[in-house]
Amino acid sequence: MRYLVLATDYDGTLADQGRVSEKILHELELLKASGRRLILVTGREMKDLVEVFPDYKIIDYIVAENGGLIHEPATGKEQLLGPPPDESFVRALADGGVHPISVGKVIIATWEPHEKTVLDVIKASASERQVIFNKGAVMILPPGVNKATGLQHLLYSLHLSLHNTVAIGDAENDGALLQAAECAVAVANALPGLKSLADWVTDASHGEGVSQLIQALLATDLSGLDARLTRHYLQLGEREDGSPFHISPYGKGILLAGASGSGKTTFTLSIVESMVKQGYQFCLIDPEGDYLQLPGAVVIGNDQALPLIEEIARLLQAPGQNVVVCTLSIPLADRPAFFGRFLSMFLDLRKEYGHPHWLLLDEAHHLVPGQAETLADRLPEQLANFILISTSPHALSATSLSRVSTVMAIGKDSAYPFQQFCEKLQLPMPSNIPSLSENEIAVWDRENGPAVYKARFNLPVQLQQRHKKKYAQGDMSYNSFIFTGPGNKMHLKANNLLLFAHIAEGIDAETWWFHLRRQDFSHWFRDSVHDEDLARVGEEAEKISDMEASKKHILSYITTKYTA
């Protein structure tokens, strides 16, 4: 289940004219019976909410005062997420003619047209406060407090994630809430500005719109909306036609295969960096110690210490904590059994919390080998968001491969992963498999047709930083650039970009034009330095007729990018 939490606004959304109908209350009961959490996120103070919504205890948790307070209806416990209002500030508002004024435990509220006076009092008091509008209401809150921050604080305490949350609202103060949630929904009566932020606008208004959302959640878990959530997709590079190469953050299994040294680790790092950027939690099982330096991830286990399942589970409860499980100390023959215990724990976490969002199995044939069909049968049919990384697809269990919807091949022999995959599952082989160069990948999305396409993937930042230093200041050895000029009159070796720039500054016009017109510079930048942007700069310089201008075009780019 992708969406474990429904976060709904009250006035204008769940409620119509301040009231919630019996029909909508029944729909809320159905939602809770499905195992989902129901959270009310409102600008109202609790004392007001209780009066207009006597059935408020149907709600699991309430984020009130526009993010300033968390209330647990079952126990009455409250937590303030900001300092209480300052009495002198409230008096200054009243002295300025602001009326009415409502003072909550964190929030201060009034109505338009008093917003100018409110801003003047804030300025005069030199206090850090923000003003949030809500269909004529003027809410004054501590800085950084809004519906999104209040919801996030609550979810964190419950070990839940915004990526497993759908939010619905109608007004200006719901904007931050909708932008924070994985799926953003606006009711039909919402303000136009809020509708523009939504992934879906319901056909019905107020509570009937919430009812429409609940019915879609129960029927399909909003699977039909995934194509609209591209802002959450993992951006991995660019396809040959210039369109984005990306994958949904909630899809079926992926097989990434290629020979040793083909670039699987590099591409996996690129995927992981995209997960981190988008805030998705991952757990990566690492049998060879290739991923022990991942930024933001905790490593459990090493070549001497066994990774403890209980410790892994404890860490993964926090949705922001990524984990690398190193299995170097586990004998090869024992790894499938370890994975069986791990998988049982992992599936329990997913069922209860909706995360970890991604599971990556490096050298997956060690964990779900062909002879472990009974273990592989435990992979649920609907299991989403996993990546099997392997040099040997034929050595994986057929059941685990049957859960794969996308096959990605990397390396010079781009055909063999598809051949082994198809032979194992007795499928027809896709045609026209492209040959690949460095940093390219062949992708077969089986659910969208038989065609295999080629894409160039982004180099991971971690790798780019190492490469940048190497190409800027290191020794590129046999990949160095040799200035020869026409007739090989000279032999000036530039073993990095900074030395290249130094030599180029003093080179004579004949030598410069010789190499520029033969496209030697742009080819070196692309094939040896592996910098496509610098190669394009070199190609632009080839079209410049003035020598000094063409030099400056290339050298200024090198200076800016490689010495910054």
Q: Are residues 349 and 283 in the same domain?
A: yes
- Outline where DSSP puts E strands in 17-154: 37-41, 61-64, 69-72, 77-80, 102-103, 108-111, 130-134, 137-141
Side-chain-side CA neighbours of 46 within 13 Å: the count stands at 20
Burial class of 285 by CB neighbour count within 10 A (0 to 12, 13 to 18, 19+): buried
Are 358 and 289 part of one and the same domain?
yes
Do 488 and 531 lie in a common domain? yes
DSSP string, 239-266: ETTS-EEEE-SS-SEEEEE--TTSSHHH
Domain containing 67 — which CATH number? 3.40.50.1000
pLDDT, residue 151, reads 98
Percentage, residues of the chain above pLDDT 90: 73
Q: Which of 127, 144, 161 is the last residue of a domain?
A: 144
Same domain, 416 and 544: no
**Confidence (pLDDT) at 379:** 66
For the chain, the domain total comes to: 4
Looking at the fold, whether 434 and 482 belong to one and the same domain comes out as no
Residues 401, 334: Cα–Cα separation, whole Å: 21
Name the packing angle between helices 532-541 and 547-562 (round to 10°).
170
Q: Roughly what angle, to the nearest 10 degrees, separates helices 520-527 and 532-541?
A: 170
Which CATH number is 436's domain given?
3.40.50.300
- The answer to whether residues 407 and 498 belong to one domain is no
64-118 pLDDT tens trace:
999 999 999 999 999 999 999 988 898 889 989 988 999 999 999 898 898 888 8
Q: Are residues 384 and 286 in the same domain?
A: yes
Domain range for 508 is 462-562
State whether 164 and 35 are in the same domain.
Answer: yes
**Cross-strand partners of 274:** none
Give the contacts of 561 (CB within 8 A, at least 6 positions apart). 468, 531, 533, 534
For residues 201 and 181, membership in a common domain is answered with: yes
Boundary-marking domain end, from 144, 170, 193: 144
Q: What is the CATH number of the domain that holds 109?
A: 3.90.1070
E strand residue ranges, 447-502: 452-457, 481-483, 492-494
Q: Same domain for 45 and 163?
A: yes
Give the chain's mean pLDDT: 91
Q: Are residues 117 and 226 in the same domain?
A: no
- Spatial CA neighbour of 255 closest among 53, 39, 424: 424
Looking at 437, 458, 479, which one is the last position of a domain?
A: 458
pLDDT score for 564? 62
**Tokens representing 20?**
């919630």
pLDDT at 528: 83
Distance CA 333, CA 473 (A): 45
What pLDDT shows up at residue 293? 78
Q: Which pLDDT score is estimated for 461? A: 76
Decide: 443 and 456 in contact? Cβ < 8 Å. no
Between CA 129 and CA 144 the distance in angstroms is 9
Same structural domain, 51 and 182: yes
Instruction: With a cut of 70, list the residues of the chain below it in pLDDT.
Output: 372-380, 462-470, 564
